[in-house]
Amino acid sequence: MSDNAEKIVLVGTGETAQIAYEYISLDSPYEIVAFSEEREFRKKDSLYELPVVDFEQIDTLYPPDQYKVFVAVSYNKLNRIRTRLFLEAKSLGYSAISYISSHAFVWRNVDIGENCFIFENNVLQHKVKIEDNVILWSGNHVGHQTRIKKNCYISSHCVISGYCEIGESSFLGVNCCFNDGVIVADDCVIGSGTVIRKNTKKGKVYVGNPAKPIPKSSYETFSV
Ligand SMILES: CC(C)(COP(=O)(O)OP(=O)(O)OC[C@H]1O[C@@H](n2cnc3c(N)ncnc32)[C@H](O)[C@@H]1OP(=O)(O)O)[C@@H](O)C(=O)NCCC(=O)NCCS
Please write down the HEC assignment for all residues of 179-198. Answer: CCCCEECCCCEECCCCEECC
- Written as tens digits, the pLDDT of the chain (224 aa) is 667 899 999 999 999 999 999 999 999 999 999 999 999 999 999 999 999 999 999 999 999 999 999 999 999 999 999 999 999 999 999 999 999 999 999 999 999 999 999 999 999 999 999 999 999 999 999 999 999 999 999 999 999 999 999 999 999 999 999 999 999 999 999 999 999 999 999 999 999 999 999 987 656 788 88
Task: Please tell me the residue having the least CA distance from ligand 1 atom 40.
Answer: 191
CB of 174 shorter than 6 A to ligand 1 = yes
CB of 217 shorter than 6 A to ligand 1 = yes
CB of 172 shorter than 6 A to ligand 1 = no
> 197 CA distance to ligand 1 centroid (A)?
18
CB of 19 shorter than 6 A to ligand 1 = no
CATH number of the structural domain spanning residue 12: 3.40.50.20
- Position 46 in a domain: yes
Question: Cα–Cα distance between 203 and 124 in angstroms, integer?
Answer: 26
Classified as helix, coil or strand, 99 is strand
pLDDT at 193: 98
Classified as helix, coil or strand, 95 is coil
CATH number of the structural domain spanning residue 148: 2.160.10.10
Half-sphere exposure (CA, 13 Å, Cβ side) for 58? 32
> 107 CA distance to ligand 1 centroid (A)?
34
218 burial level (CB within 10 Å; 0-12, 13-18, 19+)? exposed
Question: Cα–Cα distance between 121 and 127 in angstroms, integer?
Answer: 18
Instruction: Give 94-125 pLDDT, tens digit per residue.
Output: 999 999 999 999 999 999 999 999 999 999 99
**Domain stops at, among 74, 91, 108:** 91
Backbone angles phi, psi at 88, to 5 degrees: -65, -40
Global pTM value: 0.97
CB of 223 shorter than 6 A to ligand 1 = no
Note down the domain range covering 127. 99-212
Which H helix or E strand runs over 214? Answer: strand 212-214
> 132 CA distance to ligand 1 centroid (A)?
27
CB of 192 shorter than 6 A to ligand 1 = yes
Torsion angle (degrees, nearest 10) of CA 97, 101, 107, 109: 0
> 212 CA distance to ligand 1 centroid (A)?
11
**Domain stops at, among 61, 91, 121:** 91
Task: Please tell me the residue having the least CA distance from ligand 1 atom 15.
Answer: 214
* Residue pair 112/94 in contact by the 8 Å Cβ criterion: no
- Position 221 in a domain: no
- Position 48 in a domain: yes
Task: Please tell me the residue having the least CA distance from ligand 1 atom 27.
Answer: 207
Question: Cα–Cα distance between 35 and 13 in angstroms, integer?
Answer: 7
128 burial level (CB within 10 Å; 0-12, 13-18, 19+)? buried
**Domain stops at, among 54, 69, 91:** 91
